[in-house]
Every structure is written in C-alpha cells, then in structure tokens.
A and B are shown apart, each in its own frame.
Chain A
Amino acid sequence: MCLAVAGKIEKIEGDIGVVDLGGVRQPVSLIMVPEAKEGDYVLIHTGYAVEIISEEAYQETVELLKELRWE
C-alpha cells in the first residue's frame, strides 16, 4: 500500500509532469515537489510525486558501507 515507483520527468506543464514509467507515459501531480525539473527522477505514489530521488545522496550509502566493516 505504500508501494511507490521511480520515474523520470519528461515534460512539465503547470503542476503536472509527464513521467516515463518503463515505456508508459503517465501524468503525475508534482504539487509536493515544486522544485522538480525536467529530467529529474521522482518517487511516484497514487498519481503524485512524493519525493525527488537524489543521485548525490547515493554517496551516503557508500559511507554506510564503511560502517559495516567488522573491526
């Protein structure tokens, strides 16, 4: 029920973004991600983008891996 999928915004018109979901184009409301730009990846749930996915933050996952080293 909290399932969400990631998709890339191809076009923005007002509050609505057209998102490519595995080859299917879907209109998605961008009302919760006002700073989203064309080309951004967003997390989509029930027709609304709930968050922008940050490429940079992947780096923090790498930091977490250091935490896992057993010493």
Chain B
Amino acid sequence: MGMTNSSILKSFREIMEIVQKSDLTINIMEVCGTHTMALFEHGIRSLLPQNINLISGPGCPVCVTGEEIMVEAFELLEKHNVTLFTFGDMLKVPGEGRTLSILKAQGFSVKVAYSPRNAIEFAEKNPNIEVVFFGAGFETTAPALGATILEAYTKKLKNFSMFLAVKTVPPALGFLVEHNSLIDGFILPGHVSAVIGAKAFRFITENYQIPAAVTGFTAEELLLGISLVVKSILKKEPSYYNAYPHVVREQGNVEAQRIIEEVFEKGDANWRGIGNIPLSGLFIRERYSQYDARKKYGLREKPPIVPRGCKCGEIMLGRMLPPECPLFAKGCTPEKPVGACMVSSEGSCAAYYKYGRR
C-alpha cells in the first residue's frame, strides 16, 4: 500500500480544492461508528473544506439499542439470577436510570467478554450456573453469535443461552435515504460488508442514485473512499465503489452468511431514537429456541423507552449535529450520559465531545 499513499493524498487534495472553489455544500454520511472514531483520530475532518459536512449515521450497535433491551437484561440478572456475559461497550448503557455497571457493583454477576465463546467456556466449566450471553451488534458480529449458538447446540449445553439484540444495516440505510434527502454520498461500513458483501449496499446507488464507497479504516483507506464519493458527486455521475477490495468481496463471506441464515430469521426491530424498521433485526430460529434467553426465561417484550430531551434519533438520521442537541455537554456527558450516542465510545455525541467542534 506504501506506493499508493502519496497518490491517494495527491488526488484527495486535488478533489478537495475543486470542492472548496465551488459553491456546493456536500453532505456525506459515514454510517459506521468505527469510521466516526477513525475520522476523528486521523484528523481527517480537519483536512476537509468547510463546505463538506461529514454526518455520522446509525452505525453504532450500542447507540441503537433501546433502553427497553437494557431493562430486559436487568431482569435476567434480578429475576433469574443468571451470569450475564456481554461486550464491554454495553456496561454503561442506561435503562431507566440504571446500567449493567451499577448492577455489577451491587453484586450481580456481570462479566465482560472479548468473544461469545468465553461464555461457552464458562458454562462448560460451571454446569450449575445459568449463563447468558447478551449479544448486540450488526452483521459483523452476527455470524460469531450464530456460530456460538451452533457450538452450544453441538455440545448439547443445557446452561447456556443468548439474549440477542442484533440489527442489520441495509434496511436502516434504506429507511434513512427514504427519510433524509440531504445526504449526497455514503461511506459504507467495511467490516459489515466483509460479511454481507459489497453487493448488499448497491441498492443505494442503483435505486436512489446516491454515490457510495465501501471503505476501510486506515487514514489512506478513508481518504480513498471519501475522494471517490466526492468525485462522483462533483461529476454528477453516481457511482458505487468497493474501496476496500482486499477485505471485502462482492459476494461477501458466504460461509458467514450461511451461519446467519441457519441460526437466525429476520424480524422487525426498534432502533433507539429512530423507531421501528421492518425486517432490520435478527432473531433466533425456532429450531434453536432452547438457546434463546427470551424464550427460556419468558421475557416479555417491552415498549420502547425514550429518554426525555434526547435527540439521538435526529442525530443518527443526520438531521441534527450533536452540539445542536440541548443536552449536549450540559445534561449529557460521557460520565453521565442521557442517550446512547454519548455512552458508546463510537457514538457520534461521544466523538464530538472528545474531539470538539467539527
């Protein structure tokens, strides 16, 4: 890649100069929370002319997990006395004023896992303890969660189940372009695409004529993705690019897709602050229902809980920037977050809070 870096930067600068001299305002949405952080970390926002706005999309699983999901997770601990494993990001997500972190401090068994397989290993070693893995994520994480359920099924584990909050990105982007006409181009999530393939997002350009690029996470990869999308906007020729070809195939990882298809079925899901998006959630199929914590413990689905004054939804739809929220940096900070966009290190509010203005 070393050879190409200087030419990427050169092209990027040329294109940005053209934008700067134009009277256009260009809105580009980076969908993925990992991109949001990388753009700040590499200082790329500061390289962009004033008339390019980077808008952060709904691409952080923590941020789109509703409070009602957290309340259900608390119920697993308080009513059913399970040992709950989850990814570290979930510990500070509020649900009716409480968090898993607070419950852990009160003595409930909450454990942070690097991999869902950690929960399987623990369940095997402790057959008398009921173990639940609380899995939130997008398509990058879905096959890992599915493979873990298949492993439990093969091993006939009795004391393991999964509490799932998995969502899929393409339906959310479809919803977004239907509800926000301001977006001129998309930087698409590289690792989600590695699983589902570059093909999965082509509809954005084919059906809506919006330029888009599947993009990686290094500074060079981000500059390449942004340059391709901006050039396509300037030329008024909407094009679709896989700008992360060494990781993302057109068809994606077929084996990972097979695991998703085997274990999960599609259903409607509530995106925090946005609302219900049809067929945007993954749920455990009947065949594996013994590993579905919702069924195993008879959890009743709760209606969505939205904290007062929180503008997470507007922000994730790209209609509002974090500093425009009345709570930003006042009633809502990373230490005392009101909304999930401030909780997650990948949330756009947290990123703005940490890195400041643009």
Contacts and interface: CB of A to CB of B under 8 A. Distances in A.
A51 interface: yes
Contacts of A33: 253, 255
B144 interface: yes
Nearest to B147: A31
A44 B18 CA distance: 39
A51 to B, nearest CB: 4
A12 interface: no
B228 A2 contact: no
Which of the listed residues A46, A50, A54, A60 has the most CB atoms from chain B within 10 Å of its own CB?
A46
Contacts of A45: 140-141, 144, 191
Contacts of A69: 11
Given A1-B60, A43-B194, A47-B144, A65 B116 contact: no
A13 interface: no
Contacts of B138: 1-2
Contacts of B175: none
B189 interface: yes
B287 interface: no
Contact of B8 (A4, A34, A43, A65): A65
Contact of B87 (A1, A48, A58, A68): A1
Interface in B270-328: none
Contacts of B147: 29, 31-32, 48
Interface string A5-35: 0000000000000000000000001011110
Nearest to A41: B246
Contacts of B249: 51
Contacts of A1: 33-34, 60-62, 87, 89, 136-138, 140-141, 344, 346
B34 A70 contact: no
Contacts of A48: 115, 143-144, 147
B70 interface: no
A43 B144 contact: no
A32 B140 CA distance: 12
Given A1-B344, A48-B147, A50-B140, A64 B115 contact: no
A30 B8 CA distance: 34
Contacts of A51: 194-195, 247-249, 253, 256
Given A1-B344, A46-B115, A61 B1 contact: yes
B227 A68 contact: yes
B22 to A, nearest CB: 13
Interface of B: 1, 4, 7-8, 11-12, 14-15, 18, 32-34, 59-62, 87, 89, 114-118, 136-138, 140-141, 143-144, 147, 189, 191-192, 194-195, 224, 227-228, 231, 241-243, 245-249, 253, 255-256, 259, 344, 346
Interface of A: 1-4, 29, 31-34, 43, 45-48, 50-51, 53-55, 57-58, 60-62, 64-65, 67-70
Given A1-B61, A70-B231, 14 more contacts: A1-B89, A2-B34, A2-B61, A4-B191, A29-B117, A29-B144, A31-B255, A33-B255, A43-B247, A46-B114, A48-B144, A50-B195, A51-B194, A68-B228
27 contacts: A1-B136, A1-B346, A2-B137, A4-B140, A31-B255, A31-B259, A32-B147, A32-B256, A33-B253, A34-B255, A43-B194, A45-B140, A46-B144, A47-B116, A47-B144, A51-B194, A51-B256, A57-B246, A60-B246, A61-B1, A61-B245, A61-B246, A62-B4, A64-B224, A65-B11, A65-B224, A68-B224
> Considering the complex of A and B, which 8 residue pairs feature the smallest CB-CB distances, nearest first?
A47-B115, A68-B11, A60-B245, A2-B140, A57-B246, A57-B245, A48-B144, A2-B191
